[in-house]
Structure 1
Amino acid sequence: MADFDLAVIGAGAAGLSVAAGAAQLGAAVVLIERGRMGGDCLNTGCVPSKALLAASRAVRGVSDAARFGVIADPPVIDWDRLRAHLGGVIASLAPIDSEARFRALGATVLRGEARFVDPATISVDGRAITARRFVVAAGGQAAVPAIAGLQGVPYWTNETVFDLAERPAHLLILGGGPIGLEMADAFSGLGCRVSVVEAGRIAAREDPELAAGLRRELVIRGVALHEGAALTAVAPGPVLLLADGSRISGSHLLVAVGRTPNLAALDLGAGGVRAGSAGIATDRGLRSLTNKRVFAVGDIADPMGLGPRAFTHVGSYHAGIVIRRLLFRLPARVDYAALPRVTYTDPELAQVGPTEAEAVAAGLDVRVLRWPLADNDRAVAERDIAGLVKLVVSGKRVVGAGILGPHAGEMISQWTLAIAQRTPLSALAGLIVPYPTRSEAAKRAVGSLFAARLLSVRTKTLVRWLSRLPW
């Protein structure tokens, strides 16, 4: 007999969701964590970064109040109190992810390093544990590129930047992806000079038109963006040496070039679990291709070569699939067709489904519907008109949606549902949206598709004919 029905390795968002669901449904669960409960999201990722962004926006709110006729004193930033704010937010959410809560749910919680001994056994700091099934939710860590001189200078990653004891005078950021851009926005709003160095273009995964709008706003706020910049070395200072011979000097360096799965300590080979640089190779049901006892969820999972999706909501989504498969024997599978993602800058950039270019490359016959927030009454009233709603339409439905604007992450949900449920455009055009809201922009974009037909000569002729008929 196995010691447990289910052994979950990793107490980040994905592992906690699996453990909580399985324990509450009556399974014998052991949850193993070598670091802090809550993993990256709670301690060094989503939670502290959004708390920092909130502080930055508060500063900008004071600074920009004059546009409403409100004159305020220039804000003063108390760095120690700001750091206390970050710690307080983490502390307020920590009980949800705590050992005490999971023990109360019926799970066994072990603190230590887990590694496979054989395909049916793991060892946690020398203690052998067997289970009927294993779920690897070990997450990922900040990737550190092999750049000459980097190891010789102090640098920060998303895992350490929130511990900065002083406000950076000039923060250099390697990487123009979501983490790099969010930190650029946050620290610039807190009064720091910020320079972002990106080998390609910023927000490379996102629609170029929306990324261009974000670029404009960041530059307006004083962020120096160096795109298409090949970094050759890092010198003490820190100083970034670029291939074109230019040098960028700063006071602090943040490395934000992506993430890599935490594979090394697991000894997956001993467990007969195949993995590559993208993570553990699984089928679309998140089951290992080589050890049927093992499932992988979250940042460490690579289902059918689709690659990892390093979002907390993906970890929760994966957990639901594994729970359905393991406990109810249902044929649940990963489907990323309606997977939303958000870069939480100001304005936010949210995307679900393929971009225009991706849809065309996939062979779809597409048309694009746009509505600028400059034509949205709520945006005008708030004097914050930067942004755009962009919908990618194929046939009679929306297949992709992108939004650049304040609260875009909140607005994208209706399009996630519309894409997932294949909602007809006619139904979306008839949706009643409260006025005045920014969500109207998306409805106006859909409505623009029907406006040309409605105002055609044929329709006008029909109206004139109908008007002559008796009631």
Structure 2
Amino acid sequence: MTDITCDICVIGAGSGGLSVAAAASQFGEKAVLIEKGEMGGDCLNYGCVPSKALLAAGKHAHAFSSGVEFGVAAQVPKVDFAKTMAHVKDVIAGIAPHDSQERFEGLGVTVIRDAAKFVDAETVEAGGKRIKARRIVVATGSSPSAPPIPGLDSVDYFTNETIFDNTTLPAHLIIIGGGPIGMEMAQAHRRLGAKVTVLEAFQPLGKDDPELTAIVLDHLRDEGIDIRAGAKITGIAKAAKSKAIEITLEGDDGKSEKLSGSHLLVAAGRVANVDGLNLEAAGIEYDRRGIKVDKGLRSTNRKVYAIGDVAGGLQFTHVAGYQAGLVIKSVLFRLPVTNETKIIPWVTYTDPELAHIGLTEAQAKESHPGHKILRWHFAENDRARAERKTTGLIKAVVSAKGEILGCSIVAPNAGDLIQPWAMAISSGLKIKAMIDMVAAYPTLSEVSKRAATSYYADLPSKPMVRRIIGWLKIFG
């Protein structure tokens, strides 16, 4: 068996793993990158990229029926779903060269396309080779998990890893799971012509501020999506006389209801990819959420780091990229690093989009007495009115001393609008920085400044302020 000695060995060629391997190589370190599946990982092949491409197609279809207020007659779009999915594949293909084996080998990275497993605390085996590394980074990501529903294994169903291979528009798509993946796919398919029902055991989009979530859900229901919160699924089966999938639901009154659909998408959670890694041989502790890491992303084996979904934290591509930067600082420059979750924004790319960073209003009530909630409605924004997209709200959470604790936005392009708040929180800026910002007119970004300015909304009514103004008049 061939032995390779290197500085950094990365297991997993998703967003985080690619970033570590590229940076290490650019700094002159000998890097080995191991990937058993597709280069680019989940984000490029099954997640962020294809889902946004499908959402873009749905947005174009929806435009045919949403121009009446502009004097544009509504029409029913003719959707060629096979061509729509070809568009999705084309977008993936356009990005793939950036993440390809050839590109990384051109950067000087040794790429091994095989499954990896630990041999000991500093050695990994893959592709008939043993790789001994000074530091090892596990970036294997996560995979969709199947909830324990009776009969689920007896029917064919999609996950995010298979739905983008489907070229037939579902007549009735039933989605189990009302998180970001479920809701994004619900709206995309509905706008392209499918009937859609979403079944969520708890509250749809339950990790976000309920006031803003309600705006998104109302909008989706207005588009014809059947969203059921607190759904209790007691069984799934294939219909005896057709190819339909039948789902049995139990209502609050104990009565059963049968729901029939042509296709099923399961988007009800994910599991860390640790199987087959033989983590025990390296002394690495893990559980069902993933590898246990400290604040610097080191595992119980000090030579091994874990980043991204497999590290058990927030499951977003940009988190993996952020953590990759921390690992490079730690491994190459021996700098102390801390994995900060409060600076991580997240976005659900429905229309309207739902974006968040930091503390919610409910969390601030528990930890920051005297905090303020600053809000501004998009109905009071001139650009939103011009585009007739006035359904939206921004809520910023600010401490009594003006520290920005969090922000939530529901609006068109909320994912872009949250960025100044993300920068402010990561840089430790106070609300004054947002107040002093000059926002171009007319832009949706003005809502951030207007919300921030409301921090001083009660200033004119304070007697002391009025006395100071009156006293200054004495000087002319």
Q: TM-score band, normalised by the shorter chain?
A: over 0.9
1:362 aligns with 2:367: yes
- Deviations along 1:347-396, one digit per CA (max 9) or x if unpaired, are 00000001111122235432211111111111111011111000111121
Q: How far does residue 421 in structure 1 lie from its aligned partner after superposition?
A: 2.1
CA contact (8 A) 2:114 2:127 kept: yes
What is the CA–CA distance in structure 2 between the aligned matches of 1:71 and 1:377, rounded to whole Å?
Answer: 24
Map 1:287-306; keep pairs closer than 5 Å.
287-289=298-300, 291-302=301-312
1:77-92 pair list within 5 angstroms = 77-92=79-94
Contact 1:2–1:132 (8 Å) recurs in 2:
no
Which of 399, 412, 416 matches 2:418? 412
Q: Which amino acid aligns with 1:439?
A: S
Contact 1:5–1:28 (CA under 8 A) maintained in structure 2: yes
Q: CA deviation at 1:427?
A: 2.7
Report what 1:103 is aligned to: 105
Q: Which residue of 1 aligns with 2:323?
A: 318
**Aligned twin of 2:160:** 158
Task: Find the residue that maps to 1:75 and give its secondary structure.
Answer: coil
Q: Is the contact made by 2:118 and 2:277 (CA closer than 8 Å) also made in structure 1?
A: yes
Q: 1:121 aligns with which of 115, 120, 123?
A: 123
Check the 8 A contact 2:112/2:127 in 1, yes or no. Answer: no
Q: Tell me what 2:262 maps to.
A: 251
Match of 1:385 among 345, 370, 390: 390
**Which residue identity does 1:239 align to in structure 2?**
E
AA in 1 matched with 2:108: G
> Are 1:435 and 2:441 counterparts?
yes
Aligned-partner Cα distance in 1 for 2:430–2:12: 41
When the two chains are superposed, the root-mean-square deviation of aligned CA atoms in Å is 1.5
Q: Deviations over 1:158-194 (max 9, x none)?
A: 0101111200111100011110011111111111111
**2-side partners of 1:200 and 1:363: how far apart?**
28
Query: Contact 1:207–1:402 (CA<8 Å) still a contact in 2?
Result: yes
Which residue does 2:455 correspond to in 1?
A: 449
Distance change in 2, residues 1:392/1:205 (3 Å): same
2:332 is aligned, of 327, 332, 335, to 327
Contact 1:368 1:393 in 2 (8 A): yes
Which range is displaced more, 141-150 or 120-129? 120-129
Residues 56-106 of structure 1: CA distance to partner in whole angstroms, max 9, x if unpaired?
A: 111111221222112364321111211111111001101110011101111
Distance (whole Å) between structure 1 residues aligned to residue 127 and residue 111 of structure 2: 14
Q: What is the CA-CA distance between 1:419 and the residue it aligns to?
A: 1.5
Over 3 Å counting, the alpha-carbon distance change for 1:27 and 1:421 in structure 2 is same
Judge conservation of contact 2:4–2:129 (CA < 8 Å) in 1: no
How far residue 464 of structure 1 moved from its aligned partner, in angstroms, is 5.0
Question: Is structure 2 residue 278 aligned with structure 1 residue 267?
Answer: yes
Secondary structure of the corresponding residue to residue 173 of structure 1: strand
User: 3-state DSSP class of the match of 2:314?
Assistant: coil
1:218-261 CA-partner distances (Å, limit 9, x unpaired): 11111101101111111112122112212221111000011111
Alignment partner of 1:339 is 2:344: yes
- Which of these residues, 220, 242, 246, is aligned with residue 239 of structure 1? 246
CA distance in 1, matches of 2:463, 2:299: 60
Q: 1:382 & 1:468 partners in 2: Cα distance?
A: 48
Give the partner amino acid of 2:48. C
CA distance in 2, matches of 1:467, 1:60: 58
Matched, 1:373 2:375: no
1:16-60 deviation digits (Å, cap 9, x = unpaired): 000000011111111011011001000010000000000111111
Q: Residues 4 and 130 of structure 2 are in contact (CA less than 8 Å); yes or no, is this contact kept in structure 1?
A: no
- 1:267-304: CA deviation from partner (whole Å, max 9, x where unpaired): 11122111111111111111112x111111111014xx
Q: Any idea what the Cα deviations from partners look like across 1:145-166, whole Å, max 9, x if unmatched?
A: 1210000011000010111120
Q: Which amino acid aligns with 2:138?
A: V
Please say which of residues 337-346 and 232-241 is displaced more in the overlay: 232-241
State the SS of the aligned residue for 2:433: helix
Name which of structure 1's ranges 64-73 and 319-328 shifts more when overlaid on structure 2. Answer: 64-73
Match of 2:50 in 1: 48
- One-letter code aligned to 2:421: W
Paired amino acid for 1:233: G
- Give, in whole Å, the separation in 2 of the partners of 1:135 and 1:182: 31
For 2:75 and 2:349, the matched residues in 1 are separated by: 27
Amino acid at match of 2:403: R
Quickly say closer, same or farther: Cα 1:26–1:426, change in 2 above 3 A: same
> What are the residue-to-residue correspondences of 1:129-144 with 2, within 5 Å?
129-144=131-146
Alignment match, 2:66: 64
TM-score normalised to the size of structure 1?
0.96
Which runs of 5 or more structure 1 residues have no equivalent in the other structure?
A: 303-307
> In the aligned structure 2, how far is the partner of 1:156 from the partner of 1:420?
38
| 1:452-467 alignment, distance < 5 Å | 452-460=458-466, 462-463=468-469, 466-467=472-473
Q: Which amino acid aligns with 2:457?
A: A
Q: Hey, what's the Cα distance between the residues in 2 that align with 1:427 and 1:118?
A: 51
Tell me if the contact between 2:187 and 2:350 (Cα under 8 Å) persists in the aligned partners: yes
- Distance, in Å, in 1 between the alignment partners of 2:467 and 2:147 is 66
- CA–CA distance in structure 2, aligned partners of residues 293 and 2 of structure 1: 17
In structure 2, what is the Cα distance between the partners aligned to 1:223 and 1:457?
52
For residues 164 and 455 of structure 1, what CA distance do their matches in structure 2 show?
61
Distance of 2:290 and 2:68 partners within structure 1 = 50
Letter in 2 for 1:324: K
Contact 2:434 2:448 in 1 (8 A): no
Where does the alignment leave 5 or more consecutive residues of structure 2 unmatched? 239-243
